[in-house]
């Protein structure tokens, strides 16, 4: 047992060092790397080294020994070994050549994908999508068990225990509760763009960056442990609680984009910064799941920063930075503008109410791809069809259609549904937090200290030392309940749009 524990800990140190290089390379690829550079070969070698280490006979044996003696381990280590055992069982089912080749494929694809999106050229991306889908189909076949097969294998990887059946129920509920509200709003909200013409002026990037620095102080995004840079798509990455990095993207003709992206990514970042340092040292560092992570970013972005209290508190600063553009604009106008409901094309720019529909398109499409009903060639056609059906919009280009998100280029299928699930977790968490804190009053102090502390104590501190379903239950005293999300959205938008 002692021997097994020593091998387990020593190997983890090496795995952590390797993932640290992966973290740095990934960060570099998206922020600093020259456009035509390619490090696919080195990345493939690193992933081969990681695979070799993680499947080495002594490491696997050590995990098996610890797994057989679970009852002698403390709770933290027990959970870690259960997760590690599951990971090993999976990894050893994937042939190493395939694992390494797939890593090289997605690396090569990244630059091609960026060009394909920029030049609106689906044909360029098509051969890669074909290979990625082929791999994912083989992957679910290698990993299938008595309990999980097909798309469920991938869904379970992103959110433990969530199956197609559960997601179908969740999305059906969203459709039932939200579509009538969306329809009512589209009837009453004509000419919204005219009403908010001030928002479509030019807001220079320097000013936007100034406001971003201001937001950093509001959200307590500690400069000693964080950096913010620029990339095509905003994202968060981290390796320890003392090194959390986020990016943003600035558009002069859409100034709110960088505001909400910054807050969204800081929400992810705060989660990582507030994990217990003791847990961070173990293999249970990092967030509990994709959905839980997304719940934290969307909580900050929507529940906090799309509230009236938030804009009544912070709009003065934006006005100070952009006095000409915002001369005749009030905090209430800003609140209305950032909660504008519009059936649109781009998921990341979507309002809170229609957001779930964007996710549903991707979920339905992934289901169809994994079951073989749709192949790579038909992605654009099926995509456009679903956008028409769920959002009533016509997709004019690949860039604003199926090429808009990078996830499939990374080979990630099963990821998208966690976005909607995370938003629903956020609403349940918001409800629970309100029992302990007057959230609006806290927002009006100009900082979010009590809110951040509540999240730290009830969610962040655990890292991934428990499953997200357990953390959600501990934090809210209840299993996942999507009613909170539906009610939150219906109430909020009924009020804003004066619906009956």
Between CA 294 and CA 296 the distance in angstroms is 5
230, containing H or E segment: strand 226-230
By beta-carbon proximity to Zn ion, the closer residue of 297 and 307 is 297
Instruction: State the burial class of residue 176 (Cβ atoms within 10 Å of its Cβ: 0-12, 13-18, 19+).
Output: exposed
Comparison of 155 and 185: residue with beta carbon closer to Zn ion: 155
Which of 50, 157, 265, 442 is catalytic? The answer is 265
SS3 387: helix
- Binding part of the chain for Zn ion, among 34-42, 203-211, 293-301, 316-324 by CB under 5 A, reads 293-301
φ, ψ of residue 343 to 5 degrees: the values are -75, 110
Nearest approach, Cβ of residue 415 and Zn ion (Å): 10
The number of beta carbons lying within 10 Å of the beta carbon of residue 26 is 14
For the question of residue 265 being annotated catalytic, the response is: yes
Contact 269, 238 (CB under 8 A): yes
x/- track of binding to Zn ion for residues 240-259 (CB under 5 A): --------------------
Task: Report the residue number, 207 or 234, with the smaller CB distance to Zn ion.
Answer: 234
The least distance separating Zn ion from the CB of residue 290, rounded to whole angstroms, comes to 9
Q: Does 297 contact Zn ion by CB under 5 A?
A: yes
* CB 241 to Zn ion: min, Å: 19
Which residue number, 257 or 297, has a Cβ lying nearer to Zn ion? Answer: 297
Listed ranges 80-88, 291-299, 382-390, 450-458: which one lies at the site for Zn ion (CB under 5 A)? 291-299
418 contacts Zn ion (rule: CB under 5 A): no
Interface with Zn ion: number of residues (CB under 5 A): 1
Residue 11 or 297: the one with the smaller Cβ distance to Zn ion is 297
Q: How far is the CB of 330 from Zn ion (least distance, A)?
A: 30
Structure tokens at 206: 């320097």
CB-nearer residue toward Zn ion: 175 or 233: 233
Stretch that binds Zn ion, among 6-14, 38-46, 202-210, 290-298 (CB under 5 A): 290-298
Do residues 43 and 101 touch, judged by C-beta distance below 8 A?
Answer: no
Closest CA relative to residue 299, chosen from 454, 417, 404: 454
Q: What is the dihedral of CA 244, 278, 84, 150, to 10 degrees?
A: -40
Min dist CB 12 to Zn ion, Å, is 27
For the chain, the first-to-last Cα distance in angstroms comes to: 66
Q: Which is nearer to Zn ion, 276 or 297 (CB)?
A: 297
- Which 444-483 residues touch Zn ion, going by CB under 5 A? none
Q: Which stretch binds Zn ion (CB under 5 A): 17-25, 105-113, 289-297, 467-475?
A: 289-297
Provide the minimum distance between the beta carbon of 104 and Zn ion in the complex, in angstroms, as a whole number: 27
In this structure, the chain runs to a length of 500
Identify which range of 94-102, 295-303, 322-330, 449-457 contacts Zn ion by CB under 5 A.
295-303
Alpha carbon distance 159, 436 (integer Å): 28
Q: Is 159 helix (H, G, I), strand (E, B) or coil?
A: coil
Q: How far is CA 389 from CA 164, 301, 343, in A?
A: 21, 27, 11
* Closest by Cα among 101, 111, 173, 161 to 132: 101
CA–CA dist 103, 26 (Å, integer): 12
Nearest to 104 by CA among 156, 157, 186, 46: 46
Taking CB positions, which residue lies at the least distance from Zn ion?
Answer: 297
| Sites for Zn ion among residues 100-139 (CB under 5 A) | none
Question: Least distance (Å) from Zn ion to the CB of residue 302?
Answer: 12
Q: If you write DSSP's letter for every residue of 354-419 in order, what string do you get?
A: THHHHHHHHHHHHHHHHTTSS-GGGHHHHHHHHHHHHH------STTTTTS-SGGGGT--S-THHH
Per CB under 5 A, residues contacting Zn ion are 297
Q: Catalytic site residues? A: 265
């Amino acid at each position: 047992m002692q021997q097994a524990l020593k091998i387990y800990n020593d190997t983890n140190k090496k795995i952590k060092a390797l993932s640290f290089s992966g973290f740095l390379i990934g960060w570099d690829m998206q922020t600093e790397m020259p456009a035509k550079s390619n490090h696919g070969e080195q990345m493939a070698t690193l992933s081969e080294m990681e695979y070799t280490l993680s499947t080495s006979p002594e490491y696997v044996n050590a995990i098996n020994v610890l797994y057989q003696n679970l009852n002698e381990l403390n709770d933290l280590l027990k959970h870690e070994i259960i997760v590690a055992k599951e990971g090993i069982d999976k990894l050893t089912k994937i042939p190493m050549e395939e694992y390494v080749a797939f890593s090289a494929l997605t690396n090569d694809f990244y630059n091609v994908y960026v060009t394909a999106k920029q030049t609106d050229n689906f044909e360029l991306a098509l051969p890669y999508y074909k290979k990625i889908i082929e791999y994912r189909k083989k992957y679910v076949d290698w990993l299938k068990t008595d309990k999980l097969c097909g798309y469920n294998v991938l869904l379970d990887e992103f959110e433990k225990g969530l199956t197609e059946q559960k997601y179908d129920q969740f999305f059906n509920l969203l459709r039932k509760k939200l579509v009538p509200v969306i329809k009512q709003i589209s009837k009453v909200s004509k000419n919204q763009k005219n009403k908010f013409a001030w928002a479509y002026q030019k807001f220079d990037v320097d000013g936007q960056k100034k406001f971003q620095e201001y937001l950093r102080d509001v959200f307590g995004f500690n400069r000693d442990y964080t950096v913010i840079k620029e990339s095509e798509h905003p994202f968060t990455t981290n390796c320890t609680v003392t090194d959390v990095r986020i990016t943003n993207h600035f558009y002069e003709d859409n100034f709110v984009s960088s505001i909400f992206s910054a807050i969204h990514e800081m929400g992810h970042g705060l989660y990582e910064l507030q994990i217990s340092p003791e847990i961070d040292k173990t293999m249970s560092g990092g967030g509990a799941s994709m959905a839980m992570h997304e719940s934290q970013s969307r909580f900050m972005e929507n529940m906090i920063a799309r509230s009236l209290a938030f804009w009544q508190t912070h709009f003065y600063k934006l006005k100070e930075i952009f006095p000409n553009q915002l001369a005749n604009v009030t905090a209430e106008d800003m609140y209305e503008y950032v909660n504008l409901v519009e059936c649109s094309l781009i998921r990341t720019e979507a309002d809170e109410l229609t957001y779930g529909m964007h996710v549903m398109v991707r979920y339905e499409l992934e289901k169809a791809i994994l079951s073989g009903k749709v192949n790579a060639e038909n992605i654009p056609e099926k995509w456009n069809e679903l956008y028409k059906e769920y959002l009533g919009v016509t997709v004019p280009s690949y860039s604003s259609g199926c090429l808009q998100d990078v996830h499939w280029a990374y080979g990630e299928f099963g990821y998208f549904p966690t976005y909607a699930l995370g938003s629903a977790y956020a609403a349940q968490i918001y409800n629970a937090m309100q029992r302990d804190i007057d959230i609006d009053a806290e927002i009006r102090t100009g900082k979010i200290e009590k809110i951040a502390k509540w999240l730290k104590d009830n969610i962040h501190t655990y890292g991934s030392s428990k499953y997200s379903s357990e953390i959600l239950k501990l934090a809210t005293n209840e299993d996942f309940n999507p009613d909170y999300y539906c009610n939150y959205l219906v109430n909020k938008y009924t009020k804003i749009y004066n619906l009956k």
